[in-house]
Structure 1
Amino acid sequence: MKKVFRIIVGVLLVVSFCILNNKLLVTTTYKIESKKLPKAFDGMRIVQVSDLHDATFGNQQERLIKKVQEAKPNAIFLTGDVIDRNRYDLEGSMQAVAGFVKIAPVYYVTGNHEIATNRVSEIKAALTELGVEVLSNNTIPFEKDGETIQIVGIEDPLAGTDTQSMLDTALYHQSDTSFKLLLAHRPEKMQTYAKNDIDITFSGHAHGGQFRLPGVGGLISPGQGFFPKYTAGTFTVGNMTQVISRGLGNSLMPVRLLNLPEIIVVELHSTKS
């Protein structure tokens, strides 16, 4: 009996550990300084939500919505894969978005999973109806106290257009000196983003490497293979800062390990030099 009891306890501990690894939400905060940032935006807070993949966090996504609300954002960025092509549940994901739009202005770009469903129009229409700014290779000004920054968004390359061409379209007529925030799903394209006078890029896609190994980092990522370099955190490329979210959900592999679902808060600060 003792052996059976130990086995049952062991199984329960493993199951509990896996549930916590996939349902315990954490917030990661980064403070980014720039002399290009207009003074009016000093202290601006941006919440990034990425790769929901139809995951659920409480009844009608209440835990996720509360976590975002607690961050007190001035803007919310959705950087793709709000749905999963393998278990498409648009209604469940829109429950989260419906909560977000009550907190702050929401901006969205596609990920590869939206493109793969061949239901992009349906997804974008649902987001637009809720009041989300859907970015599709374009730029939208964000104004405050008479000053402006630019929010840029490009589609996922799975749509059939290369990254540089999409940026050329999105940045047409944009000044090199304007402060630009880019929403772009794929982190591995960061060298291209940096060549286009982008100040901060927000990406997801890598799921934190799915399984995170102590002292090593992520195990595997789409587009980067095994032991990928760009799975989480911030990176500096030239004058650009790349912010990569570990995301919230899963796709082909149903379990995250040592890789808690994450929302990101970026706090902007203007410096003199």
Structure 2
Amino acid sequence: MKKWIVLLVVILAVLLYIGNTRVSINEVIIESEKIPASFNEWKILQISDLHDATFGDKQAKLVHKIKEVNPDIIFITGDIIDSNRYDLQNSLDLVNQIISIAPVYYVTGNHEIATNDVNHIKTSLMEIGVHVLSNEEVTVEYNGEKMRIIGIEDPLSGLLVREQLENFESSEDYTLVLSHRPEVFHDYVNSEMDLVFSGHAHGGQFRIPGLGGLVAPGQGWFPKYTAGTYKEKETTMIVSRGLGNSLVPIRVFNTPELIVVTLKSI
């Protein structure tokens, strides 16, 4: 009996190790009449909640996967570092290698704010060419057509997401929003944003087959917004399960992920 128990423990340990170190790529197709024809088939790669995790020497595993995707643009939606084991260079090792693949846009998560070193983090990213968006918007143009990108600062900085969204009017231009927090989905809906990229929930940390995530910051037990896509009215929100962990060191049935969004103009 003891041998079977030991074998079961070993198997579970191996499965947990694989489930916490293997990176999956989850693909999403977003269709809209508002997406300009020039941006049809554009690929957006979303990175979220790295939390200073390491995937290969100097993030080689992540870099390899991102190169294989060959995205047109890269979004980083916060918590690229972890305030409990702050190692900015570990995150910069990744960004330094992907900045040449595609333009990179970044917004803060709560952990960047919690370090009390957020200005240094932003400056370090800008120095290597990252577009850091702090409650501001930019326009991307291609073949004479354009889309709008809005970046929302994490509310730990002092401004609620709803308050920041009030700075941006609805637009005829297709609008992409980078914002760390998914629990305020209805704020994005009420502001008539088109496509929101979020993270923060870590997929619910432990995912229960058939039920979803167990617990998430800002949402508590059995959270609603943990992974995948959510749609209401004209707003779609994509929530990444993220890559790393923070206070809880392991994931269960919750593989770290990169999300690839392909835009379709219809």
TM-score relative to the length of structure 1: 0.94
Are 1:80 and 2:78 matched, yes or no? yes
Name 1:254's counterpart in structure 2: 249
Determine helix, strand or coil for the equivalent of 2:259: strand
Structure 1 equivalent of residue 201 of structure 2: 206
- Taking the aligned partners of 2:83 and 2:45, their CA distance within structure 1 comes to 24
Show CA shifts across 1:29-50 (max 9, x none): 0101000111110111000000
Aligned to 1:196: 191
Contact 2:170 2:192 in 1 (8 A): no
Counterpart CA distance in 2 for 1:175 and 1:224 is 27
Report the equivalent of 1:236.
Answer: 231
User: In angstroms, what is the RMSD of aligned CA positions?
Assistant: 1.2
Structure 1 equivalent of residue 216 of structure 2: 221
In the alignment, structure 1 residue 120 sits paired with structure 2 residue 118: yes
1:13-162 matched pairs, under 5 angstroms: 13-162=11-160
CA distance in 1, matches of 2:257, 2:66: 11
Cα distance in 1 for residues equivalent to 2:96 and 2:9: 37
Q: Could you tell me which runs of 5 or more consecutive residues in structure 1 were left unpaired when the two chains were aligned.
A: none
Residues 190 and 237 in structure 1, CA contact (< 8 A), matched pair in contact too: no
SS at match of 1:187: coil
Q: Identity over the aligned pairs, expressed in percent?
A: 50
Q: Which runs of 5+ in 2 are unaligned?
A: none
User: SS state of the match for residue 215, structure 1?
Assistant: coil
Give the C-alpha shift of residue 175 in structure 1: 5.7
Instruction: Note the C-alpha offset of 1:4.
Output: 5.9
Whether contact under 8 Å (2:170, 2:191) holds in the other structure is no
CA distance in 2 between counterparts of 1:154 and 1:214 reads 32
Please identify runs of 4+ aligned residues in structure 1 that moved more than 2 A. Answer: 3-12
CA separation in 1, counterparts of 2:159 and 2:23?
A: 34
**Structure 1 CA distance, aligned partners of 2:38 and 2:149?**
15
User: In structure 1, what is the Cα distance between the partners aligned to 2:237 and 2:127?
Assistant: 30
Contact 1:112 1:157 in 2 (8 A): yes
What is the alpha-carbon distance in structure 1 between the residues aligned to residue 256 and residue 171 of structure 2? 35
Shift of 1:95: 0.7
Give the AA of the match of 1:134.
V
Q: Select between 124-133 and 4-13 the one with higher mean Cα deviation.
A: 4-13
Deviations 1:81-110 (A, max 9, x none): 000010101111111111221210000000
SS at match of 2:264: strand
TM-score with structure 2 length normalisation? 0.97
- Match for 1:100: what amino acid? I
Instruction: State how far apart, in whole Å, the 2-side matches of 1:61 and 1:215 are.
Output: 32
SS for the counterpart of 1:99 is helix
Contact 2:242 2:258 in 1 (8 A): yes
Q: 1:181 Cα shift?
A: 0.2
- Code of the residue aligned with 2:236 in structure 1: it is T
Query: What SS does the corresponding residue of 2:75 show, helix, strand or coil?
Result: strand
Q: Work out which of the residue numbers 8, 28, 31 in structure 2 matches 1:10.
A: 8
Aligned-pair distance for 1:197? 2.4
**1:168 and 2:166 aligned:** yes
